[in-house]
Structures are given as structure tokens and as C-alpha cells.
Amino acid sequence: MSVNIGIIGLAKSGKTTVFNALTKGMADTESPAAHVGIAKVPDPRLKELAAMLQPKRVVPAEASYIDIGASIKGLGKEKGISGQLLTQLSSVDALINVVRAFTDESIPHVEGSLDVERDIATIDLELAFSDLAIIERRLERIETSLKGAKQPERQGLLREQERLIKIKADLEKDVPVREQKLTSEEAKTIANYQFLTAKPLLIVVNIGEEQLPQAASLETELNSHYSRPKCRLITLCAKLEMELAQLNNSAAETFRTEFGMAESGLNRTIKLSYELLGLISFFTIVSGEVKAWSIQNGTSAVKAAGKIHSDMERGFIRAEVISYDDMVRCGNLSEARKKGLLLLEGKNYIVQDGDVITFLFNV
Ligand SMILES: Nc1nc2c(ncn2[C@@H]2O[C@H](COP(=O)(O)OP(=O)(O)OP(=O)(O)O)[C@@H](O)[C@H]2O)c(=O)[nH]1
Ligand SMILES: [Mg+2]
């Protein structure tokens, strides 16, 4: 199971272009249809391990991106976003809002003018409307159920009602669920609703080529307004990134140097969506394969094993763990073993970012 990230935004903001860049895809930017694709999560450590160990195969972690296609503008206000679109949006782990900052006379802006902050607010509002509509419907249903409810069901309903009213009040004050202070128990109940404003949000400001020299300063400036919990903002020239994504790595690198683009904007986008989701990576080196896996920060060794195969979780004996840095110093696992740097860890060991792990298990 990999992570799913939904790409939304106003019409003609560059959603499909961003999608193509992320997934090295060739989806038609002219069609407003939805697209699904996989991006390989860039990780320099995986490259380093591969260079060192010369495995037969190198397998990066993957993230799945969905280009929602439709613009969600205007859908929220009446009855909230609904149907298949809501199902699609509800199922993602995080959202990317592509906001147009590029100028192109031949592609009219849906709002008639360029205004990044206005467009960010528009989408935030649509998402909030959608959540409010879900809350309204649920509150109505609770009212009805309360009429005939006996204890302890009644108590549960009243508690849920109280929570929803609190969330609704905050939403109406423009505080998205992701910024609301909820106890861990509240957060757990709330998770069932899959509120759209609860999802981590990455704002991708889609700039034109001619704005590249100002990309960093624009990003800093906008970030000073958007440093909010579980929300990040990045500038990206989607059109250029999409073109570069079609080139081989070395040609793309040469290009980037010429344009003075320090790090691939694409890699930064994927990495940021990872950080937003609280994901970390661990590596396995098994039968000629070096593989990266992504897990939630704070995952135990036995659950990490389950990520690879359910048998490994069920029959978990222990994990042999070495940190990435120690691994690089040793050059290979047998050297690490000799030096006593392979540590034996039990089920409850909390996997650290960059750990190289060999799981021992019984089937
Ligand atoms: N000049 C310029 N054009 C861009 C840039 N990004 C996207 N475009 C163009 O803008 C148009 C719309 O881009 P799309 O990626 O299709 O936008 P979208 O949000 O998917 O559009 P819809 O799905 O129709 O709502 C296309 O013609 C793109 O080539 C950019 O950074 N610079
Ligand atoms: Mg599109």
C-alpha cells in the first residue's frame, strides 16, 4: 500500500502538467479527465547504497498521484462536493493545490486575473464548504437518531454531536480541521469522516519560466503568510519540470544547471509531500535487491515487517538493524556484522529514518 496524493486546483492552473512532471507521465493536458500515476520517491541514500553494493535491482519507494481533473470551484457551496469526486478526494492521504502564477495570454485565467493568494483562499473555502456539508448532514442524522435512542447509544451520539458542533464553529471561523486542536481521542473519531480540510496540504505555486530567477524569493515571501500546521508551499515551474521529466537524468541535470535550478523542483515536491505525511524510509538488502520502503514515523519493527509481507509480521523473530551512516562506513553487511554494528532489535523497536534492516522471521 503506497500513499495516495490528490492534485486539485482551479481550472487551467496546471494540475495535469504537475501530474505529468511528478509521474513522468504523458497525460493529455488538453483533456480535463482524471489521471492516476505513480511517482518514484527520490532518495539520494538509495543511490548511494546502490553505488556501494551494486545490486541487480534498485527499487525506490512509490507514491501514487491522482489528478482529479475537474475543478472543484463552485461545487462546495450548495450541497458540498459529492458523488465520485468526493469519494476520490476522501480517499487520498494528502492534497496538492496547484495555483497558477504563470502568465500566458493565450490561456485566460478562470478568475480573469492572476492572484495567487485569492486562488489559495478559493480552494480552501471549497474544501471547508465540503466539510461543513458533511457535518450538517451528520448532525441532522444524529438529531433523528437521538429521538429514539437509549443509553448508552444516546451518550455516544451526544458526544459526537458536541464534537461536530465544535469543529463546525472553528471551520466557520476559517480554521481548517488540520489546524484545530483536537485530543487524540477526538482526532480518532474525526478520522472516519475523512474531512478534506483535515488532510495535509501542499500548495504548489505554478510559475512561468521567466519567473525562475525569483522562484526562491517568491517562495520565501509566500511562505511567510502560509506557515501553518500540516501545510507547505513550494514554487514550481510545472511546464519546464514536465519537459525535464521526459529527458534522461544527465540531460535534465545539464539543463537544470543552465537554468540555475539548484535541486529538482520535482524532487522537492515529492519530498515535501512525504514530510507532510510524516513518512520516513527504511531500506532492505535482500537477494540482489536494494529496496526503499516508506512508513509512518514512529512505526515499530514488527509493523514495518508487515509492510513488506504479512508473513513477516506474523512470524517476526527479530530485526537486524544498522543505521544508514554506519552502513556507508562499513560498505557491506558482512563487514558491519564483523564490526558488531548490526544490532538485534525486537518487535517494539521504533524504526528510524534511513535504517537498513534485515528481518528474521518464521513461516
Ligand atoms: N506558460 C506556461 N504554461 C503553462 C504552465 N503550466 C501549465 N501551462 C499551460 O497551461 C495549460 C493548462 O495546463 P494544465 O496542466 O492542462 O492545467 P489543468 O489545471 O490540468 O487544466 P484543467 O484540467 O483543464 O482544469 C496548458 O496549455 C499548459 O501547457 C507554465 O508553467 N507556464
Ligand atoms: Mg487537467
pLDDT of residue 262: 65
pLDDT of residue 320: 96
pLDDT of residue 291: 96
pLDDT of residue 79: 64
Phi, psi of 74 (to 5 degrees): 85, -5
Please give the radius of gyration of the chain, using alpha carbons only, rounded to the nearest integer: 23
> 269 CA distance to ligand 2 centroid (A)?
18
pLDDT digits over 49-91, tens only?
999 999 999 999 998 999 987 666 666 566 667 777 888 889 8
Q: Residue range 116-142: average pLDDT?
A: 94
Q: Is the CB of 273 under 6 A from ligand 1?
A: no
pLDDT digits over 223-279, tens only?
998 888 999 999 999 999 999 888 888 888 888 888 777 677 888 888 888 888 989
Q: Is the CB of 35 under 6 A from ligand 1?
A: no
Neighbours of 111 (CB within 10 A): 14
- Is the pLDDT reported for residue 40 higher than 70? yes
Atom of ligand 1 lying closest to residue 19 CA: 15
**∠ CA 129-132-138, rounded to 5°:** 145
Pocket test for ligand 1, best of 8, 10, 20, 29 (most atoms within 8 A of CB): 29
- Is the pLDDT reported for residue 112 higher than 70? yes
pLDDT of residue 80: 65
Q: Is the CB of 239 under 6 A from ligand 1?
A: yes
pLDDT of residue 129: 92
Cα–Cα distance for residue pair 180/109, rounded to 1 Å? 33
pLDDT of residue 225: 86
- Is the pLDDT reported for residue 287 higher than 60? yes
Neighbours of 347 (CB within 10 A): 14
